[in-house]
Amino acid sequence: MKLVVIGAVAAGTSLAAKARRQDETLEIDVFEKGTSISYAVCGIPYAVGGEVDDFKRLEPRDVNFFKDKYNVIIHTEVEVVEILKDEKKIVVEHVLSGERNIYDYDVLAFATGTRFHIPPPFNNQTFENLFQIKEPQTGMNVQNYIQKKNAKSAIVIGAGYVGLEMAEQLKKAGLDVSILVKSAQALKGFDLDVAKRIEFEMKKQGIVFHKNTKVTSILSNGESIEALLLDDDEALKADVYVLATGVQPNTSLAEQMGVKLGPTGAIQVNEKMQTSLEGVYAVGDVAEKYSHKTHLPIWIPLATHANREGRIAGEAITGGNPRNPGISGTSILRFFDLTIAQTGLTETKAKALGFDIEVLYNIKNDRPEYISSDKLFIKAVADRKNREFLGAQIIGTRGVDKRIDVFATALYYHASVDDLVNFDLAYSPIYSTVRDPIQTTGMALGNGLDKHKTILPTELDGDTFQLIDVRNPNEFQDGHIEGAKNIPLGELRKNLERIDSTRPVVVYCNTGVSANAAQNILKKSGFEEVYNLNGGFKSYIQSVKKKES
């Protein structure tokens, strides 16, 4: 049997290797338009900034490795230009010579990845100081230009993962950096109130963030960009411009063949990565995903998915019976001193899907204060109907990776908020508090589901609620929510007459712990409608983005 794979990065090479391990009789040919194969796309920004000391380290395997170890023939700088479906043949063109050849296949797999999303006015224009990041060579081009021109400033258009990573690395390389986005936030897949926290880090690091900003035209001398003209007529200048406005599934060849696309615009596949055509598979960023929780189609291009899907298809092609369980969209990013991660459903997505949800802001130390600690901000979502944990977003300086992976595992097994509380997690003060933030997240979500009402900072209305600040007077004096009354927790029982029991009450402290105790006191004292401010005053400052006194 002859297997042809189109594309030789993560998914294509993973598929070929798995198929060979399953069947020694296969003839396997892989075709790659570029010069690099099986490279670490996610490492490119770090090579630009010098954390990876050599771009060659992003390409640990070459065509000889796959030939020697797997007896897989990988053809580089060879583009598949046409598929003769009825004849089961492909037409390839050698990039350098233009020579064309025809290959037979019995099974065909698309691993064609993505193509750049290029918005106007950038489409169909090239400049020597405008760069996009996809292959190691593109990163080398940025680095070489900066060194050659002694560049001092950069503008990054886009604030997704690649945009933020490039902004970080360019700043660390000594450039003045600005970021432009047409939306209201960085990382559009996160909730807005979470993404706002990233803006504080930008300001701290000296990065200028232009949001709700559209580039209307490019001012150039023909060879290079001299400035970008914005919709408010401001002209922004830099030495280097990085276009990081996202990617789209590269489906053009599959569409010509008649392969069905899904609602996300990627190739529709089943649990074995089979497309709508018999004997044709699709894996990696070109293939549609589906949610492990909702089973609805989604599309998130990540290397982890690509590798797994390649193995699934390789096994299916060779007679196995694998099943793709779907994804939770788990991802993580370092941005200077922050680690930013998410898994599962956000508040925005859960509401859009019709879930009745409990939302939690949980601000906890990553380890005990006596050994030095940093705060973890966790925004978590649960289903009120069945108490099932739905997703989390985390921002912190340490320990984020551990927690997001535990949350992702909880999602895979459809854990409840009560399961989070009972997880038997490793403890040492070097790594965690006795009750890990994962467990306290489950406890707090459970409290909310058990009628211990919470309210989000963005939902506060001073005309409706009585605001009771239960912190000490010094903290209150340093800053508080306008209209709040200061009654420290230790004095609350003696001052109940200062609170109107006929009106709704919102109690708050710094992070929500003391306020939870205050809420219990008030409820036991006959107050019927008492809310704990979700995440406390610290969340209010960052979510509402103002400090009132």
**Hey, what amino acid is at 494?**
K
Are 75 and 93 found together in one domain?
Answer: yes
Question: How far, rounded to the nearest angstrom, does the alpha carbon of residue 175 sit from its chain's CA centroid?
Answer: 25
Q: What's the chain's length in residues?
A: 549
Which DSSP symbol is given to 96? T
pLDDT at residue 73, as a whole number: 98
Average predicted confidence (pLDDT) for the chain: 95
- Where is average pLDDT lowest: 146-155, 161-170, 260-269, 538-547? 538-547
- The answer as to whether 531 is a domain residue is yes
Quick: pLDDT tens for 68-90. Answer: 999 999 999 999 999 999 999 99
Whole-number Cα distances in Å, 208 to 178, 180, 203, 236: 5, 9, 7, 11
Domain harbouring 167, CATH code: 3.50.50.60
Other Cβ atoms less than 10 A from the Cβ of 381: the count is: 25
Q: Which residues are catalytic?
A: 42
Whether 548 shows a pLDDT value over 70: the answer reads no
Are 197 and 307 found together in one domain?
Answer: no
pLDDT at residue 512, as a whole number: 87
| Residue 310 contacts residue 284 (beta carbons within 8 Å) | yes
User: Tokens representing 347?
Assistant: 């508040």
370 burial (CB, 10 Å; 0-12 / 13-18 / 19+) is: exposed
Instruction: State the DSSP H helix or E strand holding residue 386, giving kind and residue range, or none if neither.
Output: none
Whether 48 shows a pLDDT value over 60: the answer reads yes
Whether 547 shows a pLDDT value over 60: the answer reads no
Q: DSSP assignment of 418-429, as one string? A: HHHHH------T
Please report which confidence band the pLDDT of residue 414 belongs to, taking 50, 70 and 90 as the band edges: very high
- The answer as to whether 125 is a domain residue is no
Of 188, 217, 245, the position where a domain reaches its end is: 245
Q: Which residue has the tokens 């490119």?
A: 44
**Hey, what amino acid is at 444?**
A
pLDDT at residue 545, as a whole number: 55
Helical residues (DSSP H) of 207-289, grouped into ranges: 252-257
pLDDT at residue 400, as a whole number: 98
Quick: pLDDT tens for 434-450. Answer: 999 999 999 999 988 98
Are 108 and 253 found together in one domain?
Answer: yes
- The answer as to whether 76 is a domain residue is yes
Domain harbouring 471, CATH code: 3.40.250.10
Are 308 and 365 found together in one domain?
Answer: no
Quick: pLDDT tens for 50-61. Answer: 999 999 999 999
**Hey, what amino acid is at 113?**
G
**Residue range 327-343: mean pLDDT, rounded:** 97
**Residue range 484-493: mean pLDDT, rounded:** 96
d(C-alpha 202, C-alpha 171), whole Å: 11
Are 477 and 434 found together in one domain?
Answer: no
Contacts of 99 (CB under 8 A, 6+ apart): 93
In total, how many domains does the chain have?
Answer: 4
Are 10 and 80 found together in one domain?
Answer: yes
Are 435 and 385 found together in one domain?
Answer: yes
User: Tokens representing 281?
Assistant: 């598979």
State which residues form the domain around 305. 2-40+57-113+248-317
| Residue 155 contacts residue 236 (beta carbons within 8 Å) | yes
| Range picked from 116-125, 399-408, 532-541 for highest mean pLDDT | 399-408
Are 381 and 477 found together in one domain?
Answer: no
d(C-alpha 260, C-alpha 274), whole Å: 11
d(C-alpha 61, C-alpha 82), whole Å: 28
**Residue range 367-378: mean pLDDT, rounded:** 94
**Residue range 330-342: mean pLDDT, rounded:** 98
- The answer as to whether 323 is a domain residue is no
- The answer as to whether 280 is a domain residue is yes
Whole-number Cα distances in Å, 540 to 384, 449, 543: 24, 22, 5
Whether 25 shows a pLDDT value over 90: the answer reads yes
User: Tokens representing 534?
Assistant: 């979700």
- The answer as to whether 185 is a domain residue is yes
- The answer as to whether 226 is a domain residue is yes
**Residue range 377-381: mean pLDDT, rounded:** 97
Whether 152 shows a pLDDT value over 50: the answer reads yes
Of 391, 420, 449, the position where a domain reaches its end is: 449
Quick: pLDDT tens for 185-210. Answer: 999 999 999 999 999 999 999 999 99
Please report which confidence band the pLDDT of residue 464 belongs to, taking 50, 70 and 90 as the band edges: confident
**Residue range 488-497: mean pLDDT, rounded:** 96
pLDDT at residue 459, as a whole number: 86
Of 424, 449, 474, the position where a domain reaches its end is: 449
Quick: pLDDT tens for 257-274. Answer: 999 999 999 999 999 999
- The answer as to whether 93 is a domain residue is yes
β-pair type (331-335, 338-344): antiparallel
